Structure 1
Amino acid sequence: MFKRGLDILGAGLGLLLFSPILAFVAWKIRRQMGAPVLFRQTRPGRDGRPFQMVKFRTMRDAVDADGTPLPDSERMTPLGRFLRSSSLDELPELWNVLKGDMSLVGPRPLLMDYLPLYSAEQARRHDVRPGVTGWAQINGRNAISWDEKFALDVWYVDNRSLWLDLKIIWLTIRKVVKREGISAAGEATMSKFTGKGL
C-alpha cells in the first residue's frame, strides 16, 4: 500500500514537473519522424498480465524490399539515440505508473514472447509490478547478459524495500547523467532473449 502511494505521488509529480520536456520532445518527434509520437506495445505486468506500455518513439518505420523491418540499428534516428541515451523516451511510462500497470521501481517489462521461455526462477520477476527503473538497470542495464539481468531482477523481488527503492531511484539518476549501459556490445539496445541460460 505504501509503495503504491509512493508510485502515485512520484509519477504525478514527475508528469507535472516534466510536462514542458514531455511537450518539447513530443513536438521534436512529430517534426522529425512524424506520427505517431508515442510507441505503444503490449508487455507483461505483474503475474504476466498484459498491459499497454507507452514510450516516446525512437525509430523509423523502415522495412526492406520484402516488407521486413530493418534492424534496430538502421531504424534508430539521431533523435532516437539521444532520447535513449538520456532515458527521455521512458518518461511517458509515468502514465503507466499512475494507472497501476507499473511501479517506479521493479524489473523492466520485457516482451510477451519471452514469457514461455523463462525458467521457473526467471519467471519470479513477474511476482511484482514491472518498473520504470530497477536493480538490473543500475547494475549494467543493457550491457550485462540476460542471465545476469534476470538474477538481479529476482534478487530485487526477494529483497525489495522502501529504502532499496529510494536507493535505486537515486542511482538511476546518476546512471542517466553518466549515460552508462545504454546498449549491449554490437547492439542498438539489447540482443533478443532466446531462452538459453539458467
Structure 2
Amino acid sequence: MIKRLFDITAATTALVVLSPVYAITAYKVSKNLGSPVLFRQTRPGLHGKPFEMLKFRSMKDAVDAEGNVLPDSERLTDFGKRLRDSSLDELPELWNVIKGDMSLVGPRPLLMEYLPLYNDEQKRRHHVRPGVTGYAQVNGRNAIGWNEKFALDTWYVDNQSLWLDIKILLNTVKKVVIKDGISADGEATMSKFKGNI
C-alpha cells in the first residue's frame, strides 16, 4: 500500500512538473517520425497479465518487400537514438504507473513472446508490478546479459522496499545523465531472449 501510494503521488507530480517536456517531446516526435506520436505495445504485467504500455515512438515503421518489420538498427533514426539516450521515450509510462499497470520501480516489462521461455526462477520477476526503471537498469541496463538481468530482477523481488526504490530512482537519474548501458554490444537496443539453452 505504501509503495502504491508513493507511485501515484510521485508519478502524478512528475506528470504535472514535466508537462512542458511532454509537449516539446511530442512535437519533436511528430516532426521527425510523423504520426502516431505514441508507441503502444502489449506487455506482461503483474502475474503476467497483459497491459498496453505507452512510450514515445523512437523508430520508423519500416518493412521489407514481404511486409516484415525491419531490424531495430534499420528503423532507429538519429533522432530516435537521441530520444532513447535521454530516456525521454519512457515518460508516457508514468500514465501506466498511475493506472496501476506499472510501478516506478520493478523489473522492466519485456515482450509477451518471452513468457513461455522463462524457467521457474525467471518467472518470479512477474510477482511484482513491472517498473519504469529497475534494479537491473541501474546495474547494467542493456549492456548485461539476460541471465544476469533476470538474476537482478528476482533479487529485487526478494528485497524490495521503499528505501530501495528511492535509491534505484536516484541511481536512474545518474545513469540517464551519463547515458550508461543504453544498448548491448553490437546491438541497436538489446538482443532478443531466446530461452534457456
Per the normalisation by structure 1, the TM-score is 0.98
Aligned with 1:39: secondary structure?
strand
Q: Deviations over 1:140-185 (max 9, x none)?
A: 0000000000000000000001110000000000000000000001
**How much does 1:26 deviate?**
0.4
Instruction: Please say if residues 119 and 196 of structure 2, whose CA atoms lie closer than 8 Å, have aligned partners that are also in contact.
Output: no
**How much does 1:188 deviate?**
0.7
**How much does 1:196 deviate?**
2.0
- Residues 59-138 of structure 1: matches in 2 within 5 Å? 59-138=59-138
Answer yes or no: is 1:3 the counterpart of 2:3.
yes
- Residues 1-198 of structure 1: matches in 2 within 5 Å? 1-196=1-196
**Distance across 1 between alignment mates of 2:14 and 2:84:** 18
**Distance across 1 between alignment mates of 2:71 and 2:125:** 28
**Distance across 2 between alignment mates of 1:133 and 1:140:** 12
Aligned with 2:54: secondary structure?
strand
Q: Runs of 5+ in structure 1 lacking a partner?
A: none
**How much does 1:32 deviate?**
1.4
Q: Runs of 5+ in structure 2 lacking a partner?
A: none
Identical pairs, percent: 68
Amino acid at match of 2:52: Q
**Distance across 2 between alignment mates of 1:33 and 1:122:** 36
Instruction: Please say if residues 12 and 98 of structure 2, whose CA atoms lie closer than 8 Å, have aligned partners that are also in contact.
Output: yes
Q: Deviations over 1:52-111 (max 9, x none)?
A: 000000000111111111110110011110110110000000000000000000000000
Amino acid at match of 2:84: R
Aligned with 1:121: secondary structure?
helix
Instruction: Please say if residues 142 and 181 of structure 2, whose CA atoms lie closer than 8 Å, have aligned partners that are also in contact.
Output: yes
Q: Deviations over 1:40-60 (max 9, x none)?
A: 000000000000000000000
Per the normalisation by structure 2, the TM-score is 0.99
**Distance across 2 between alignment mates of 1:19 and 1:78:** 24
Amino acid at match of 1:104: L
**Distance across 2 between alignment mates of 1:64 and 1:121:** 38
**Distance across 1 between alignment mates of 2:10 and 2:96:** 12
CA RMSD between the two structures:
0.6
